[in-house]
Amino acid sequence: MLNVILYQPEIPPNTGNIIRLCANTGATLHLIKPLGFLLNDRQLLRAGLDYHEFAHVVLHKGWEECMHSLPGRRIFAVSTKGTQRYDQVKYHPEDVFLFGTETRGLPIEILESFSNTQRIHIPMLPDRRSLNLANAVSIVIYEAWRQLGFIANGKC
């Protein structure tokens, strides 16, 4: 199924909401350290409600370790600096979506390691900085899942 990577997330409620999203869509969540919070943070747990047990969350020590755990997968870097709109891609069941930190986004060296077709963005009005991370992940995951017929583990 689909995969979400959060590169060094900083805000616990965002990650909690994304855990809940992944639990409800069947996506696997990959968290790359360092995290801006502890995994037992009260705000993280509150935002995720009781969905933590239904989510598949993988913790990685760094970027390279995460990449080694996803061999052969198509990875899309989601960024305001993306060159292709997120809804203009035909997604596959094993696709991976990489999101940067809430305050800095993705490091330029990581973003530039992806081809233009793998750098995607969500349209916004001019002169706007960014969307909330949890909202951005939701938009992209639901578009990919919609294209796949909302199928997860053989169920819809």
pLDDT of residue 46: 77
12-25 and 133-147 are packed helices; what angle lies between their axes, rounded to 10 degrees? 10
Q: Is residue 154 part of a domain?
A: no
Determine, yes or no, domain membership for 73: yes
Domain-located, residue 113: yes
Is 122 known to sit in a ligand binding site? Answer: yes
Are 48 and 21 in contact, with CB atoms under 8 Å apart?
A: no
> What CATH number is attached to the domain comprising 131?
3.40.1280.10
Can you give the residue range of the structural domain that contains 144?
A: 3-148
Q: Give the SS3 label for residue 130.
A: coil
Known binding residue 78? Answer is: yes
Model-level pTM?
Answer: 0.94
Distance in angstroms (rounded) separating the CA atoms of residues 88 and 85: 6
130 is in an annotated binding site: yes
Judge whether 105 lies within some domain: yes
Burial of 83-94, coded b for 16+ CB within 10 Å and e otherwise, reads eeebeebebeee
Strand intervals (E) in the chain = 3-7, 28-32, 56-60, 75-78, 84-85, 96-99, 119-121
Would 153 be classed as within a structural domain? Answer: no
Q: What is the pLDDT along the chain (156 residues), one digit of tens a residue?
A: 999 999 999 999 999 999 999 999 999 999 999 999 888 878 777 766 677 788 999 999 999 999 999 999 999 999 999 999 999 999 999 999 999 999 999 999 999 999 999 999 999 999 999 999 999 999 999 999 999 999 865 555
Q: Is residue 156 part of a domain?
A: no
**Residue 75, annotated as binding a ligand:** no
128-131, long-range: CB < 8 A, 24+ apart: 129/80, 130/80, 130/105
Q: How many domains does the chain have?
A: 1
Q: Would you say residue 143 lies in a domain?
A: yes
Torsion of CA 49, 51, 56, 59, to 10 degrees: 10
Whether residue 58 lies inside any domain: the answer is yes
Look at residue 51 in the predicted model and tell me its pLDDT. Answer: 76
